[in-house]
Amino acid sequence: MAEAAAEPQAREGKELVPETARRGFRSSLLACADTKLLLGYHYGEWTFGAPSLEAAIAACSMGQDELGHARLLHGLLDHFFGLTQEALIENRGGGDFASIAFLDRTFGSWADLVAANALVDLAVTLEIAAFRGSSLGALRRVVDKLIQEEKFHDEHARAWFQLASAHSSESRASIAHATRAALPAVLAFFGDPASNHDRELLATGIKTRPDAAVREDFLARLGRLARQAGFAAGAMSPGGELWGETERIDWRAWDADRRRTVSGGPADELLEHLSGAKNVEFRRT
């Protein structure tokens, strides 16, 4: 996707992103924004069909949060790169989106939402937290707000992961299956832990923590959650019950711009809902 501005220079009142860090910074922001946009959509879908009225209200609330966060990140993409709302949502196909691949499909059950909440939501929050103390003022001002508003999401994820894992053998199996399905796509979001793909972001001070460290924090937190939910100590480690096909990730296929190892993307019908394409006659001009 081409950048709106031909020259990588700051416009009046804008901060200059060093040329060496522009691509990595844009891809990180875009991956977080796209993932939050899709999370908001999926949470909203489960406002109806949740196991209880309280769960439905929580899903609705989290959906509103994620859509608001996506809008804030879109503002940063406009601020630093001149990428407008129209360019980001209406003028891209599914193959251009950088959202975590687990969100490409419709959620088949509440277990998928819990896995998205516990894994995808956490991963994006930790990635955003890696920009705390950034050398870019506009980014610093947004990061703390996003992290603060994610605390409820984390509490909701941990409560439901434990509850569903203990409720019955069927719900436990569903949570385990959804976790195994989500984990490879989430780890792909962080990139190959043996690489240093975000070195320029760190060298310029835009980012303050490498993805390899964020990945380890993510897995440690999930490991603790799995143990609290009654899974074996090594469930979130290679060969464990919740690890799934993670060892088979082909890092040679990793797309640095989309932060994923698989092709495809959100379905066209889903993108129509996100863009409001079916209701263009009601837009303000």
Task: For residue range 17-37, list pLDDT tens digits in order.
Answer: 999 999 999 999 999 999 999
As a whole number of angstroms, the distance between CA 104 and CA 34 comes to: 11
User: 249: burial class by Cβ within 10 Å (0-12, 13-18, 19+)?
Assistant: middle
What pLDDT, on a 0 to 100 scale, did the predictor assign at position 90? 82
pLDDT averaged over the chain?
91
pLDDT per residue as tens digits for the range 183-240 = 999 999 999 999 999 999 999 999 999 999 999 999 999 999 999 999 999 999 999 9
Q: Are 77 and 89 in contact (CB under 8 A)?
A: no
97 C-beta neighbours (distance < 10 Å), count:
28
Phi-psi region of 228 (alpha: psi -120 to 50; beta: other; left: phi over 0): alpha
Does the pTM surpass 0.85? The reply is yes
pLDDT per residue as tens digits for the range 87-117 = 888 888 899 999 999 999 999 999 999 999 9
Residues 6+ apart with CB under 8 A from 254: 188, 191, 192, 260, 261
As a whole number of angstroms, the distance between CA 150 and CA 125 comes to: 7
As a whole number of angstroms, the distance between CA 192 and CA 108 comes to: 29
pLDDT per residue as tens digits for the range 53-87 = 999 999 999 999 999 999 999 999 999 999 988 88
As a whole number of angstroms, the distance between CA 204 and CA 22 comes to: 11
